[in-house]
Amino acid sequence: MNTLPETHRRPLFPRGPSLGLRTLLLAGLSLALIFNDSRSDALQPVRSTLSFLLAPLVWAAALPHHLAAAAENLDSREALERENRALKEKQLLLEVRLQRMAALEAENRRIRELLASAARIDDQVLIAEIIAVSQDPYRNQITLNKGARDGVYRGQALVDAHGVLGQIVEVGPRQSKALLITDPDHGIPVEVNRTGMQTIAIGSGDERGLRLPFLASNADIKVGDLLVSSALGGRFPAGYPVGTVYEVKHVAGEHFMEAYASPAARLNQGRQALLVWSEHFHRSDEHDDALQAPAATTDPAP
């Protein structure tokens, strides 16, 4: 079969610059954009405007998934009853735990007051819905349905019911993009819960989860250690679980060892995430950074 259309004809006198010249111009422009965008934030407004315009497309692409989820909701009566029973049991369990939690919190407050410390145990939070997951398999990003209007700011920490999810990297008026802790571009200061050792967990970008490079070869860390977020760097609120160490690798003849941890948060499951206003970041922010919207200081609805 011949791919030449019958109507094919090359214009005899093509107008405007030639194909090669136009390609050269556009390629040069692209290169300039890449250079600029990877080194500064100057193009951030362009990006937010475009992503606002593209929101319907993102929504449409997520539609099949949402429909499938909706179809799943049409459960049988029996399944619903079973689920109801399980939930009731779980609620009872949680209520018992909550009672203890209230007592502990009160005790904690009293002890903290004794120490004259200002740290609070209940951070201010806001629930956001995950509306899209990055479809580039080499970037772990999610899009949330809360933006600058809800007081979301760049660098804000994101957690779910099990641990730290990531942080906000891009804020639009009504939605924002977050980088997950497993993205190779992401690093988070962590503390080994058992020993208090501070280190940094870097995303590995694949199924290995988190990587803790450059540990001293005699560092006290072993499989099963819980990593919690550390307030060093002032970006993440302290004390949220980040991951559990599952492998410690000594390399013979190397000065450092490496550990791997699986993230505590359910990264690719669930539809909701919690935005946390980190007290540290918030305070220092008011002085030197205008990224923060005033709405962040008011208490949002839970």
Residues engaged in binding other proteins (CB under 8 A): 1-11, 19-20, 22-23, 26-27, 29-34, 36-38, 43, 46-47, 50-51, 54, 57-58, 60-62, 64-65, 132-139, 141, 169-170, 177, 184-185, 205-206, 268
- The minimum distance between CB 116 and other proteins, in angstroms, equals 44
**Residues 6 or more apart in contact with residue 123 via CB below 8 angstroms:** 237, 276, 277, 278, 279
Q: Which is nearer to other proteins, 65 or 88 (CB)?
A: 65
- The minimum distance between CB 166 and other proteins, in angstroms, equals 13
- The minimum distance between CB 92 and other proteins, in angstroms, equals 36
Q: Which is nearer to other proteins, 258 or 279 (CB)?
A: 258
- The minimum distance between CB 260 and other proteins, in angstroms, equals 16
CA distance 251 to 272: 40
Q: Which is nearer to other proteins, 131 or 231 (CB)?
A: 131
Q: Which is nearer to other proteins, 36 or 99 (CB)?
A: 36
198: region left, alpha or beta (phi > 0 left; psi from -120 to 50 alpha):
beta
Closest CA to 265 of 134, 175, 111, 157: 157
Closest CA to 258 of 228, 216, 300: 216
- The minimum distance between CB 43 and other proteins, in angstroms, equals 5
- The minimum distance between CB 143 and other proteins, in angstroms, equals 9
Q: How many Cβ atoms sit within 10 Å of the Cβ of residue 213?
A: 13
CA distance 267 to 262: 10
How many CA atoms lie within 13 Å of 144's alpha carbon, on the beta-carbon side? 34
Closest CA to 276 of 187, 175, 180, 155: 155
Q: Which is nearer to other proteins, 62 or 238 (CB)?
A: 62
How far separated are the first and last CA of the chain, in Å rounded?
Answer: 63
Q: Which is nearer to other proteins, 3 or 117 (CB)?
A: 3
